[in-house]
Protein backbone atom coordinates (compact mmCIF):
# COMPACT_ATOMS: atom_id res chain seq x y z
CA UNK A 1 0.00 0.00 0.00
CA UNK A 2 2.84 2.38 0.73
CA UNK A 3 4.21 1.98 -2.80
CA UNK A 4 0.82 2.89 -4.26
CA UNK A 5 0.46 5.98 -2.09
CA UNK A 6 3.99 7.09 -2.98
CA UNK A 7 3.19 6.66 -6.67
CA UNK A 8 0.07 8.85 -6.33
CA UNK A 9 2.00 11.37 -4.26
CA UNK A 10 4.48 11.66 -7.15
CA UNK A 11 1.84 11.80 -9.88
CA UNK A 12 -0.34 14.51 -8.37
CA UNK A 13 2.28 17.29 -8.61
CA UNK A 14 3.15 16.14 -12.12
CA UNK A 15 -0.50 16.27 -13.20
CA UNK A 16 -0.92 19.73 -11.68
CA UNK A 17 2.19 20.91 -13.48
CA UNK A 18 0.88 19.60 -16.81
CA UNK A 19 -2.50 21.26 -16.28
CA UNK A 20 -0.91 24.59 -15.45
CA UNK A 21 1.52 24.37 -18.36
CA UNK A 22 -1.37 23.81 -20.79
CA UNK A 23 -3.28 26.72 -19.29
CA UNK A 24 -0.47 29.22 -19.82
CA UNK A 25 0.86 27.91 -23.11
CA UNK A 26 0.78 30.34 -26.04
CA UNK A 27 -2.09 29.81 -28.49
CA UNK A 28 -1.35 27.80 -31.60
CA UNK A 29 -0.98 29.82 -34.75
CA UNK A 30 -2.90 28.75 -37.81
CA UNK A 31 -0.86 27.90 -40.85
CA UNK A 32 -0.91 30.51 -43.60
CA UNK A 33 -2.56 29.75 -46.88
CA UNK A 34 -0.64 28.73 -49.96
CA UNK A 35 3.00 29.84 -49.95
CA UNK A 36 5.58 30.19 -52.72
CA UNK A 37 8.95 31.28 -51.42
CA UNK A 38 8.55 34.11 -48.88
CA UNK A 39 5.05 35.09 -50.07
CA UNK A 40 1.81 33.48 -48.87
CA UNK A 41 -1.71 33.93 -50.16
CA UNK A 42 -4.89 33.46 -48.16
CA UNK A 43 -8.48 34.73 -47.89
CA UNK A 44 -9.16 33.63 -51.47
CA UNK A 45 -12.55 34.46 -52.98
CA UNK A 46 -13.93 34.17 -56.49
CA UNK A 47 -15.31 37.23 -58.24
CA UNK A 48 -19.10 37.31 -58.36
CA UNK A 49 -19.15 38.75 -61.89
CA UNK A 50 -16.22 36.95 -63.53
CA UNK A 51 -15.58 33.34 -62.59
CA UNK A 52 -12.01 33.53 -63.94
CA UNK A 53 -11.00 36.21 -61.40
CA UNK A 54 -9.77 35.40 -57.92
CA UNK A 55 -9.28 37.91 -55.14
CA UNK A 56 -6.70 37.10 -52.50
CA UNK A 57 -4.59 38.59 -49.76
CA UNK A 58 -0.83 38.17 -50.15
CA UNK A 59 1.75 38.77 -47.46
CA UNK A 60 5.48 38.32 -47.11
CA UNK A 61 7.92 37.67 -44.30
CA UNK A 62 8.54 41.40 -43.82
CA UNK A 63 4.86 41.77 -42.83
CA UNK A 64 3.91 43.58 -46.01
CA UNK A 65 0.44 42.62 -47.14
CA UNK A 66 -2.08 43.67 -49.73
CA UNK A 67 -5.10 42.43 -51.63
CA UNK A 68 -4.71 41.56 -55.28
CA UNK A 69 -6.92 40.34 -58.11
CA UNK A 70 -5.69 37.73 -60.57
CA UNK A 71 -7.14 37.08 -64.00
CA UNK A 72 -6.74 33.31 -64.27
CA UNK A 73 -7.11 33.35 -68.06
CA UNK A 74 -3.67 34.88 -68.53
CA UNK A 75 -2.19 35.02 -65.00
CA UNK A 76 -2.05 38.82 -64.80
CA UNK A 77 -2.29 40.28 -61.32
CA UNK A 78 -3.63 43.69 -60.41
CA UNK A 79 -2.27 46.06 -59.21
CA UNK A 80 1.01 45.71 -61.07
CA UNK A 81 3.07 47.30 -58.29
CA UNK A 82 2.87 47.04 -54.53
CA UNK A 83 4.77 46.28 -51.32
CA UNK A 84 4.80 42.49 -51.87
CA UNK A 85 7.34 41.19 -54.41
CA UNK A 86 5.44 40.68 -57.68
CA UNK A 87 7.25 37.57 -58.94
CA UNK A 88 6.31 35.51 -55.90
CA UNK A 89 2.83 37.09 -55.69
CA UNK A 90 2.20 36.11 -59.32
CA UNK A 91 3.42 32.56 -58.62
CA UNK A 92 1.02 32.26 -55.67
CA UNK A 93 -1.81 33.61 -57.82
CA UNK A 94 -1.11 31.19 -60.69
CA UNK A 95 -0.98 28.24 -58.32
CA UNK A 96 -4.31 29.25 -56.77
CA UNK A 97 -5.82 29.50 -60.25
CA UNK A 98 -4.66 25.96 -61.00
CA UNK A 99 -6.10 24.70 -57.71
CA UNK A 100 -9.40 26.48 -58.41
CA UNK A 101 -9.58 24.77 -61.80
CA UNK A 102 -9.41 28.01 -63.76
CA UNK A 103 -6.03 27.58 -65.44
pTM confidence score: 0.67
Residue 14 is assigned to a structural domain of this protein: no
- List the domain range (segments joined by +) for residue 93: 35-100
Residue 79 is assigned to a structural domain of this protein: yes
Q: 15: pLDDT confidence band, cut at 50, 70 and 90?
A: low
Q: 33: pLDDT confidence band, cut at 50, 70 and 90?
A: confident
Residue 26 is assigned to a structural domain of this protein: no
Residue 39 is assigned to a structural domain of this protein: yes
pLDDT winner (highest mean) among 2-16, 25-39, 84-98? 84-98
pLDDT for the residue numbered 91: 95
CB 54 within 8 A of CB 76: no
Residue 84 is assigned to a structural domain of this protein: yes
As for how many domains the chain has, the answer is 1
Amino acid sequence: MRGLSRMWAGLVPLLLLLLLAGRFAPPAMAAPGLCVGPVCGDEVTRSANHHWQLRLRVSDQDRHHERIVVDCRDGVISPQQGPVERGYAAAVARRLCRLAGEA
